[in-house]
């Protein structure tokens, strides 16, 4: 719920404000891009002079030497893992035509699509048996664990066989069908690089005659997608840091690296006779096992791509962030990677970022309402951009970082600077005029279960004179501690004792106090289910008096003579007396709860207090 609290008034006058919802309708989204530069061709296989692959969720076929591709399927569902039959007349693939993931087969020239498996679980094509001409697929239908088993089935759906292997995800038979090289764990669809954990893929060799098994890769990293070619078992491995193609010789039992790519991983591959076709960087490559040469197959696809045409879209369900203008007349709404300026009641909606093909985020108004700053990756890296709030002029790139992820922009009250943070847990200040960037601080510890925007320093706020920045960061005890950075002195001061979870600092408008949330109210109760203590509603809102001779934020009731009226006396200049600051603390008369997202203006304090039962976090 959203509350406000008048700082210098009776707490009984607390007001509850209703929730505000912004509805954004009917923006025209347009986009153009080079289709052939972003083909993302996947799951390739080949037979004779043809290669088949998936692009845009449909199957396509093209000449093996390259050229224009022909679409073989068109369906709302995804078709993937196409595999030619041994004689090249059929293509088995995984499809979703009837709403479920099953094995389908079609004529290699297109058409005559037939469903082969009919099971509520997912059945995924692996390949073909070299002797029986049955389709190999994996499925969890008879598995007693989270892993899959391998099955054989005839193209007409008859003759279903379960292989004797206990756990198996992908495999390839020897030419005579007496042995199989296979993976036990399926991890092809996970984007884990250089993984060395318990789900590392190894390649095993199983002999159906002797019923013996051995590990032939023995690496401990990723060895996947075995392909039996003659007297070699080829596979993908990241032994050199990148997924490349390797081979294991069945005679010498030695392993040899066949490709040496260093730009993109070889994600999926398929072998036929003495060649391997594989996917790398969204393109299709061909490896000749005799010569050892790899070449890209120059395939061109020409889809109708209806999703790239301009269309009207209701963005209500795609709003990621918003910010209200200083006057409250307009609001910034971030949706679908664009920044929109939306009127409160009348007027037009303007696309402020207006850059297709980039992600624009974290938009904020300047305090005078004349500028808008946001973060965009249109240059290839996340940079800060500024544009006039009325949509005139062009967006100006304010930073030129080499790499990294930046987030959480905060204008200074005088609009001369912007504070921001990045993925290295650092906080920075950007000077708008000189474009100089100053590092404020770096967190040495982080929340492991929080999003990247909340791992390090992120809850910073400016003092009214734009000369100080208050924030919290995790200390060596893994407790969030308050700090204040002085721009003039280029120095950081810890302002809380670091014993409690203190966060979300906010200066009051008069600059006399620093408000913050702290988890230091411990009222344990017994758990309803187990004999243990439960701590709920641990947070309260506190205030630090910044000047050693400053007045408390809450007036103390004490009958006394009125004395001389000093209301007309000039206010002392803004300053912070850091000595003894942590001891000049008082708690606001609000019950313990789950507070966060403090904000202040001339009317008082605003905050969020979550529902009962939620635990308090940043």
Going along the chain from its start, the domains and CATH numbers come out as 41-306 (2.120.10.60)
Q: Residue 452 corresponds to which tokens in the numbers above?
A: 């990247």
Q: What is the per-residue pLDDT across 451-510, written as a single tens digit (0 to 9) for each? A: 777 778 999 999 999 999 999 999 999 999 999 999 999 999 999 988 999 999 999 999
φ, ψ for residue 181 (rounded to 5)?
Answer: -100, 130
Q: Residue 15: pLDDT above 50? A: no
Q: What is the per-residue pLDDT across 169-191, written as a single tens digit (0 to 9) for each? A: 999 999 999 999 999 988 888 88
Q: Residue 32: pLDDT above 50? A: no
Looking at the chain, the whole-number percentage of residues with pLDDT higher than 90 is: 70
465 Cβ contact partners less than 8 Å away, ≥ 6 residues apart: 413, 511, 574
Of 189 and 125, the structure prediction assigns the larger pLDDT to 125
- The pLDDT score that the predictor gives to residue 565 is 54
Q: What is the per-residue pLDDT across 85-124, written as a single tens digit (0 to 9) for each? A: 999 999 999 999 998 999 999 999 999 999 999 999 899 9
**Arithmetic mean of pLDDT over the chain:** 88
Q: What is the per-residue pLDDT across 566-613, written as a single tens digit (0 to 9) for each? A: 555 555 678 899 999 999 999 999 999 889 899 998 888 999 988 665
Q: Under a CB-based contact definition with an 8 Å cutoff, are residues 463 and 574 in contact? A: yes
**Mean pLDDT value of segment 545-565:** 77
Instruction: Report which secondary-structure segment, H or E, holds 173.
Output: strand 170-173
- Which is it for the CA torsion 306, 310, 315, 320, positive or negative? positive
φ, ψ for residue 37 (rounded to 5)?
Answer: -85, -10
**Mean pLDDT value of segment 349-361:** 91
DSSP output for 498-537: SSSEEEEEEE-TTSSEEEEEEE-----EE-SSSSSEE---
- The pLDDT score that the predictor gives to residue 560 is 61
**Measured between alpha carbons, how far is 222 from 521 in angstroms, rounded to an integer?**
49
Of 166 and 45, the structure prediction assigns the larger pLDDT to 45
Q: Under a CB-based contact definition with an 8 Å cutoff, are residues 84 and 90 in contact? A: yes
CA 426, 427, 431: angle at the middle one, nearest 5? 135
Q: Under a CB-based contact definition with an 8 Å cutoff, are residues 303 and 35 in contact? A: yes
HSE of 208, CA atoms in CB hemisphere, 13 A:
12
- The pLDDT score that the predictor gives to residue 4 is 46
**Measured between alpha carbons, how far is 107 from 92 in angstroms, rounded to an integer?**
9
Q: Under a CB-based contact definition with an 8 Å cutoff, are residues 531 and 525 in contact? A: no
Closest Cα to residue 285, out of 51, 93, 72? 51
Q: Residue 10: pLDDT above 60? A: no
**Measured between alpha carbons, how far is 500 from 587 in angstroms, rounded to an integer?**
14
Least confident of 9-23, 29-43, 202-216, 320-334: 9-23
Q: Under a CB-based contact definition with an 8 Å cutoff, are residues 148 and 121 in contact? A: no
Q: Under a CB-based contact definition with an 8 Å cutoff, are residues 68 and 61 in contact? A: no
Q: Which residue has tokens 């309260």? A: 540
- The pLDDT score that the predictor gives to residue 23 is 38
Q: Residue 279 corresponds to which tokens in the numbers above?
A: 């996917």
pTM of the predicted protein model: 0.66
């Amino acid at each position: 719920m959203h509350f406000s609290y008048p700082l210098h008034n009776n707490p009984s006058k607390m007001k509850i404000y209703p929730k505000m919802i912004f509805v954004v309708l009917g923006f025209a989204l347009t986009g153009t891009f080079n289709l052939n530069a972003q083909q993302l061709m996947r799951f390739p296989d080949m037979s004779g002079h043809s290669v088949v692959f998936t692009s845009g969720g449909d199957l396509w076929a093209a000449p093996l030497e390259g050229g224009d591709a022909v679409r073989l399927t068109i369906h709302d569902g995804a078709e993937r893992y196409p595999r030619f039959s041994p004689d090249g007349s059929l293509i088995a693939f995984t499809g979703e035509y009837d709403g479920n993931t099953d094995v389908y087969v079609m004529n290699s020239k297109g058409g005559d699509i037939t469903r082969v498996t009919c099971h509520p679980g997912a059945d995924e094509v692996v390949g073909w048996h070299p002797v029986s001409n049955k389709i190999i697929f994996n499925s969890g239908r008879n598995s007693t664990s989270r892993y899959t088993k391998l099955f054989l089935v005839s193209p007409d759906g008859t003759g279903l066989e379960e292989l004797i292997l206990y756990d198996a995800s992908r495999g390839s038979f020897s030419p005579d069908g007496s042995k199989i090289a296979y993976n036990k764990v399926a991890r092809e669809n996970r984007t884990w690089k250089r993984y060395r954990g318990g789900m590392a893929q190894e390649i095993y060799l199983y002999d159906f005659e002797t019923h013996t098994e051995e590990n032939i890769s023995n690496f401990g990293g990723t060895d996947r997608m075995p392909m039996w070619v003659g007297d070699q078992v080829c596979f993908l491995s990241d032994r050199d840091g990148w997924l490349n193609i390797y081979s294991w010789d069945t005679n010498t039992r030695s392993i040899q690296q066949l490709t040496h790519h260093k730009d993109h991983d070889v994600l999926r591959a398929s072998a036929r006779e003495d060649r391997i076709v594989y996917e790398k960087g969204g393109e299709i490559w061909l490896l000749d096992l005799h010569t050892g040469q790899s070449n890209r197959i120059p395939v061109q696809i020409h889809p109708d791509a209806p999703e790239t045409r301009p269309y009207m879209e209701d963005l209500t369900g795609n709003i990621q962030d918003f910010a209200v203008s200083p006057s409250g007349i307009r609001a910034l709404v971030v949706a679908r990677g664009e920044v929109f300026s939306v009127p409160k009641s009348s007027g037009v909606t303007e696309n402020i970022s207006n850059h297709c093909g980039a992600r624009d985020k974290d938009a904020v108004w300047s305090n005078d309402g004349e500028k808008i700053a946001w973060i965009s990756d249109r240059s290839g890296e996340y940079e800060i951009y500024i544009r006039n709030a009325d949509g005139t002029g062009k967006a100006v790139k304010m930073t030129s970082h080499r790499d990294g992820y930046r987030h959480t922009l905060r204008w200074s009250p005088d609009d001369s600077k912007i504070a921001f943070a990045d993925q290295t847990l650092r906080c920075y200040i950007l000077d708008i005029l000189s474009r100089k960037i100053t590092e404020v601080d770096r967190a040495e510890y982080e929340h492991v279960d929080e999003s990247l925007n909340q791992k390090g320093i992120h809850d910073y706020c400016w003092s009214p004179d734009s000369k100080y920045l208050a924030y919290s960061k995790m200390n060596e005890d893994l407790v969030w501690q308050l700090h204040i950075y002085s721009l003039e002195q280029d120095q950081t001061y810890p302002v809380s004792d670091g014993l409690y979870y203190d966060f979300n600092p906010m200066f009051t408008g008069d600059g006399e106090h620093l408000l913050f949330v702290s988890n230091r109210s411990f009222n344990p109760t017994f758990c309803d289910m187990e004999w243990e203590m439960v701590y709920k509603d641990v947070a309260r809102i506190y205030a630090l008096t910044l000047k050693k001779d400053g007045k408390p934020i809450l007036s103390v009731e004490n009958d006394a003579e009125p004395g001389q009226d000093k209301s007309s006396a000039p206010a002392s200049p803004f300053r912070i007396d850091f000595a003894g600051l942590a001891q000049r603390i008082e708690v606001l008369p609000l019950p313990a709860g789950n507070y966060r997202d403090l904000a202040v203006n001339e009317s008082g304090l605003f905050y969020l207090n979550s529902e009962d039962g939620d635990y308090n976090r940043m």
